[in-house]
Amino acid sequence: MTDKVLNILRRHGKQIHCLIDGDVINNLSSSQIKLLMEQIEEIGSVRKNLAIFDYQLKPEKYDLYINSGISPMIVPSDKDVYLALECLDVVNNQQTDILCVGVSDESMLSIIVKAREKSEILLIGQTKESVINYMPYIDYLITIKDIEKNTT
């Protein structure tokens, strides 16, 4: 089989649910978000794609996310709690092969450890150094620093 055929089969074989702390992607441009989504889709087929914020977004930023296939969600209180609950809901109640989580700090570490029991983990973080404690529990890593480097 050709590489193209293998990539298509692999992409359709794994279902990905993305739950991202909005602060992780907030400063990305349209081309950087597109590159991020392309990297995720190389691994599998995205079924759910939420970016969670605890503040209002400017209309142009909201439109940018929608046009990129990301559903922005604004929660009234601590977004880390909502992100944790969504992660547990996805791995326990929905058919998912890969849980993609965008993290801005180590607050999700215990959730990732628990989610790893039922799903592969794709982590999105600022830099490899900022997510070093997650490394034993993840299968894939995408860093914002690499995204920014590849689009400049």
Task: Supply the mean pLDDT for the chain.
Answer: 90
Does residue 12 carry a pLDDT above 60? no
Question: What confidence category does residue 137 fall into, taking pLDDT thresholds of 50, 70 and 90?
Answer: very high
pLDDT at residue 95, as a whole number:
83
pLDDT the model gives residue 77: 84
Q: What is the CATH number of the domain that holds 10?
A: 3.40.50.1010
What's the pLDDT score for residue 150? Answer: 84
Q: Which residues pair with 46 in a beta bridge?
A: 16
Domain residues for the domain of 130 are 3-150
Structure confidence by residue, pLDDT tens digits, 33-71: 999 999 999 999 999 999 999 999 999 999 999 999 999
Q: What is the pLDDT of residues 67-111, one digit of tens each?
A: 999 999 999 888 999 999 999 999 998 888 999 999 999 999 999
Give the type of residue at 146: D
Q: Whole-angstrom Cα distance, residue 99 to residue 46? A: 10
CA angle 114, 41, 37 (to 5 degrees): 95
Q: Which residue has the higher pLDDT, 13 or 76?
A: 76
Residue type for position 89 = D
The total number of structural domains that make up the chain: 1
Which amino acid would we find at residue 143? T
Res. 3: pLDDT tops 80: no
- The C-alpha atoms of residue 122 and residue 101 are separated, in whole angstroms, by 6
SS3 content of the chain, % helix, strand, coil (to 5): 50, 25, 25
pLDDT exceeds cutoff 50 at 1:
no
